């Protein structure tokens, strides 16, 4: 995680409902910051579950599918335009440049990026990092870090 400890928090999440509650809690901070939220963790950790709950908190009530094959799913009709990316299938980081993905990363947008390491070094630096690990019990350990100055200004709102 590329942030200092004073802007990092962890949560043990026992199930999807707790993952959703955490996503709803941080949604206002993500909206206020906009920018980039990276989501890392192994397959099945709950990255898309987190995004689904976040989008629901922002007012999207339709289906939310993982953009594993489409690479990006747009949600431009929300109060803040949201773009959900999944770079799992990238064979080469150059695909980020070849696909023109940099055009989405504008200050007015909120970009949620799964598998950001597959687009390194072309993906801009994140404002927020979400890391989800699967624990031996099957529960999840979610680590949230504020990386940018804008995200750190929102930190007190997380309470």
Return the sign of the alpha-carbon dihedral for residues 70, 52, 119, 87: negative
For the chain, the domains span: 5-149
CA distance 125 to 136: 31
DSSP conformational letter for 1: -
| Rounded (10°) CA dihedral 134, 138, 142, 143 | -50
Which pLDDT belongs to residue 4? 66
The string of pLDDT tens digits covering residues 84-138 is: 999 999 999 999 999 999 999 999 999 999 999 999 999 999 999 999 999 999 9
CATH of domain 5-149: 3.40.50.300
pLDDT of residue 59: 94
3-state secondary structure of 118: helix
Give me the pLDDT at residue 2, please: 58
Q: Report helix, strand or coil for 99.
A: coil
pLDDT tens-place string over residues 136-147: 999 999 999 999
Mean per-residue pLDDT over the chain, rounded: 93
Cis peptide before 141 (omega within 30 of 0): no
Taking the model in full, what pTM does it have?
0.94
How many Cβ atoms from other residues are within 10 Å of residue 69's Cβ? 9
């Amino acid at each position: 995680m590329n942030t200092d400890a004073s802007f990092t928090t962890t949560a043990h999440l026992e199930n999807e409902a707790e993952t959703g509650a955490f996503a709803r809690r941080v949604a206002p901070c993500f909206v206020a910051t906009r920018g980039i939220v990276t989501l890392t963790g192994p397959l099945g950790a709950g990255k898309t579950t987190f995004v689904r709950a976040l989008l629901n908190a922002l007012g999207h009530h339709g289906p939310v599918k993982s953009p594993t094959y489409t690479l990006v799913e747009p949600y431009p009709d929300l109060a803040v335009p949201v773009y959900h990316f999944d770079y799992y299938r990238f064979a080469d980081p150059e695909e980020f440049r070849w696909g023109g993905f940099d055009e989405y990363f504008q200050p007015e947008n909120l970009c949620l990026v799964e598998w950001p390491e597959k687009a390194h070094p072309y993906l801009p630096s994140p404002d927020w990092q979400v890391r989800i690990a699967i624990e031996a019990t099957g529960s999840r350990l979610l680590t949230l870090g504020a990386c940018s100055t804008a995200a750190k200004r929102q930190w007190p709102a997380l309470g």
